Amino acid sequence: MAISKQVKQKPKSYLKKAFSNWQAECNSAVLYQAFVKLERSPKQAKLYKQLADLEEKHANYWKNVLVSHNYAIPVFKPRRRTQVLIWLAKRFGLGLVLPQAAKLEQLEAEGYLEQLEPSHIQIDEQASANLLKHLGHEEFNEFVKKIILRIRRPVLLAIGGLLFFTSIATAHNVQIEGLFFGLFTASFFGAVLHYLIGKIIIPLPFGRVWCGWACWTAALLDQLPYKKSAGWLPKKWHYFRYLHFFLSLALVALMVFGFKFRQGGLGQTALFWFLVGNLVYWLVGVILDIRLKDNRAFCKYVCPISLILKQTSRPALLKVSGDASSCLSCKSQACTTLCPMDIDIPAYIKEGKRVLSNECILCLQCVAVCPPNTLEPSFGLDWGGENKLELRKLCPKTLNLKQS
Ligand code: SF4
Ligand code: SF4
Ligand code: SF4
């Protein structure tokens, strides 16, 4: 009765709206039915089934309205957008499409608000939108985590390779020796620019992302199979990279000021030393990584560049943070097990701090393996350099190197 009364008041626009509502509800029903088939968790699949049934019920409501006014309903065909969403969900998982589905559901709910009736559909649609938003948030987080686990190594290889070959193409020595050479000879191009941007300016807000995502030395070494090390060697080994740093500095100073060597920054000579330097780095890295069964052994004990990065990344705005209440109940400790830099992540979280270690390379492996809603990358203000590191079994459990 209520329906025919409103039809009498504005029959054409009402029927037009009823038809578009019927189409929208059918599309949503088809989409959620596809979600039911794709969802692996039975609990979650049940929720999608409830949503699909609700949308079907709404579609039938509008169908009845249209039929009661002798409106000719065509055979339903899902919209292109629905088809694309289903394809994306099949290809890449629900995590990618749920936020979009939640947005569409919210738009539908708002559309019903404007129509001011029928109220039970308005309420259902808003509830569905809220549920999808919640599921979408969780699934999207999981999707991002899976992506991090899958793409980090290829991305590292791609960016590292690109930068390496750019150095070759421009014949610049952008090894640390190239930097020293540039500074001593006041040739502020190539290496100096590279260090200024990549190792000083970027780490100030974004920490050691260079090491996690762009370094060409690590790009190769990270392809070795030793993703999880047994922990750090004792403290005396940590000074080796300082030795390396100052030996390189002394050697370049001797060449420039002692032997008046002035052609090492750019051109054939620069390229030659860049390649020789890299080969030596890689060779030492491969031997050390295999010997210690740790892909990041070179970064931990040999790389002189890490000394610059350790200082410039201290005030970084981007660090990993966590929720202490969720972390306290976790037994897996998967974060520390998979952290390539052997950082005792829970030790920071339980103290209510972000991961303040300046050995953190922002690879986000810990975020990817941690249970939902516990670890996440975050922006904030704090001073890094407080290192809580996992040591090899022969050492005390945790080494607390304050402000190292
Ligand atoms: S520590 Fe050195 S070798 Fe390792 S990723 Fe950073 S810059 Fe590259
Ligand atoms: S995996 Fe996450 S929840 Fe578990 S100990 Fe690590 S930070 Fe805490
Ligand atoms: S703390 Fe997390 S982001 Fe930092 S190095 Fe370890 S796994 Fe990577």
Q: DSSP for 223-246?
A: TSS--S-S-BPPGGGGGHHHHHHH
Specify the pLDDT at position 119: 67
Q: Measured in angstroms, how far is the CA atom of residue 326 from the centroid of ligand 1?
A: 32
Residues with CB under 6 A from ligand 1: 211, 215, 217-218, 298-299, 303, 305-306
pLDDT for the residue numbered 123: 80
For atom 1 of ligand 3, which residue has the closest CA?
360
C-alpha span between 28 and 113 (Å, rounded): 18
Task: Give the C-alpha separation, 223 to 238, whole Å.
Answer: 23
> Which atom of ligand 3 sits closest to the CA of residue 365?
7
Q: Which is it for the CA torsion 339, 342, 343, 345, positive or negative?
A: positive
Report the distance separating Cα 212 and Cα 210, nearest Å.
6
Phi, psi of 363 (to 5 degrees): -75, -20
Task: List, for residues 225-251, the tens digit of each pLDDT value.
Answer: 998 888 999 988 999 999 999 999 999
Looking at this protein, which amino acid is placed at residue 395? C
Does ligand 2 have an atom closer than 6 angstroms to the CB of 332?
A: yes
215 lines ligand 2 (CB under 6 A): no
Which helix (H) or strand (E) covers residue 401, if one does? strand 398-401
Q: What is the pLDDT of residues 84-99, one digit of tens each?
A: 999 999 988 887 888 8
Give domain 2-145's CATH number out of 1.20.1260, 1.20.1070, 1.10.101, 3.30.750.
1.20.1260
Does residue 104 register a pLDDT over 90? no
Give residue 328's pLDDT band: very low, low, confident or very high (50, 70, 90).
confident
Q: How far is ligand 1, taken at its centre, from the CA of residue 305, in Å?
A: 6
Q: Which of 376, 379, 390, 401 has the alpha carbon at shortest distance from 321?
A: 376
Q: For residue 174, how far is its CA from the centre of ligand 1 (angstroms)?
A: 13
Residue of 210, 339, 353 with the most ligand 3 atoms within 8 Å of its CB, for mutation = 339
In the chain, what percentage of residues exceed pLDDT 90? 54
How many other CB atoms are there within 10 angstroms of residue 89's CB atom? 22
**Ligand with the closest atom to the CA of 310:** 1
Please check whether the two domains, 2-145 and 318-401, share a CATH topology.
Answer: no
For residues 163 and 216, is the Cβ–Cβ distance under 8 A? yes
Going from N- to C-terminal start, the domains of the chain cover 2-145, 149-309, 318-401
pLDDT band at 67 (very low <50, low <70, confident <90, very high): confident
Is the beta carbon of 363 within 6 A of some atom in ligand 3? Answer: yes
Q: Is 347 in the pocket of ligand 3 (CB under 6 A)?
A: no
Quote the tokens at residue 253: 């100073």
Q: Which two tokens stand for residue 259?
A: 């032997």
Nearest CA residue ID for atom 8, ligand 2: 327
Distance separating alpha carbons of residues 138 and 351, to the nearest angstrom: 26
Place of tokens 């030659």: 272
Pocket lining: 369 vs ligand 3, CB cutoff 6 Å: no
pLDDT for 10 beyond 70: no
pLDDT score for 194: 93
Task: Please say if the pLDDT value at position 145 is more than 90.
Answer: no
What sign for the dihedral angle of Cα 373, 375, 379, 382? positive
User: Which ligand has the nearest atom to the CA of 375?
Assistant: 2
**pLDDT value at position 403?**
41
Atom of ligand 3 nearest to the CA of 342: 6
CATH number at 318-401: 3.30.70
Atom 2 of ligand 3: nearest residue by CA position: 366
Instruction: For residue 294, report the distance from its CA to the centre of ligand 3, in Å.
Output: 15
Burial 205-240 (b: 16+ CB within 10 A, else e): ebbbbbbbbbbbbbbbbbebebebbebbbeeeebee
Please give the pLDDT value at position 394.
Answer: 56
